[in-house]
Amino acid sequence: MKTSCYLVASDKVIPAWLQPVAILDLCAARGINTNELLLNTALFASDLPFTGRYISLLQFQQLLRNANRLWPGADFPFQLGHQLLQHGLGPISALVDSYSELPTVLTLLCDYSVLLSPALAMRLVRPAPNEILIMFKPSAFASVDGLALVAAITTLASIIKRFSGLREARYFFRSSAGEHREHFIAHLNGSCCFLAPFDGVRLLVDEAEKESVSNSVRSQVAIADCEALLPNAPYLSERLQKILASEGGGHSDLSACSVKLGISQATLKRRLREHGLSFQQQLDQYQLELALIELLLKRTSVDDAAARLNFHDSSNFRRAFKRWTGLSPSLMKANFNDLMPPLVK
């Protein structure tokens, strides 16, 4: 296990006896050869059930790609999402069962997102007292893993449905559904918006539905079990995002961030390149996320959003936003409003 202040994608921190075994079980039911499934994953069928074994994010993604390639159909990530809730999340499942309030469960899922989906980081935002948005970002690489995203959102949809079968949710995907739109409709309990500016899930909650603290022994055991399985550091990209957040609006520089990471600027740049990232890309991603929350979800004016993100004036903010997205803030807001009619209970 890694002891530094950040992880890289080659660090072996993913419990092989949880999600990887769930993938094997799911594929075995479809007659998929286990040895082919484990190709280039550093796992071998002779080592099952993999108790105490860990694999890296790179190896986990290879397993996902192998399974999707060998799966007889186009619905593998959806089926995996359903399978994980039944078997594959370990103490996460016990944690979900220990609480009665959905906001609490969603907060905990974000805290332990690496156990729900190793390839993704999750962030909970409250645009309004009666709304929750879960935003998904890549945990280590430059782009979101599509297979991991669909599986995680399918699992999340099942959890939301368990707490309230009639609660409306809306699912956002940066990508297009392509020719497989029917799978999204069949497997997700809500409307789907494609070619959106972010990946996420948005839903309504009762304003009285507050986060709760459970004192049950069961919940305490589940939290302790989750804590025990967490890596002892975040991935480099997540660590850098937290540093940028601590700087207030992401206005930091490479030198300051490398000092806080305890590495040289050259090492930081090299590590980022290994993941297809750059420091400027990370800074842009952080500021864009803040801008999208302000403009699209909180419906803040462009001038107010510029001020909250610490831009000198709205003109500089408009130029930066267009560089990030290719659209002006006003056009992005108009497009998003067309994409997303109001949620109703």
The predicted structure's pLDDT at residue 86: 84
Is the Cβ–Cβ distance between 333 and 295 less than 8 Å? yes
Residues 22 and 108 placed together within one structural domain of the fold: yes
Q: For the domain that residue 248 is a member of, what is the CATH number? A: 1.10.10.60
pLDDT tens for 237-260 read 888 888 888 766 555 788 989 988
Q: Is the alpha carbon torsion for 9, 12, 15, 16 positive or negative?
A: positive
Cα(74)–Cα(68) distance, rounded to whole angstroms?
8
Q: Which of 179-183, 222-226, 290-294 has the lowest mean pLDDT?
A: 179-183
Cis peptide before 49 (omega within 30 of 0): yes
The predicted structure's pLDDT at residue 36: 97
What's the structural domain count of the chain? 2
Show the domain range for 64: 12-229
The predicted structure's pLDDT at residue 42: 94
Question: pTM for the whole thing?
Answer: 0.90
Cα(166)–Cα(182) distance, rounded to whole angstroms?
21
Q: Looking at per-residue confidence, does 213 or 223 come out higher?
A: 223
Is the Cβ–Cβ distance between 139 and 121 less than 8 Å? yes
Q: For the domain that residue 68 is a member of, what is the CATH number? A: 3.90.1520
Asked, for residue 65, whether it belongs to a domain, the answer is yes
Q: Looking at per-residue confidence, does 252 or 143 come out higher?
A: 143
The predicted structure's pLDDT at residue 3: 43
The predicted structure's pLDDT at residue 312: 87
Asked, for residue 344, whether it belongs to a domain, the answer is no
Top-confidence range, 16-20, 186-190, 308-312: 16-20
Statement: residue 236 has pLDDT above 80: yes
> Domain ends where: 171, 194, 229?
229
Please, what is the average pLDDT of the chain? 88
The predicted structure's pLDDT at residue 1: 37
Statement: residue 66 has pLDDT above 80: yes
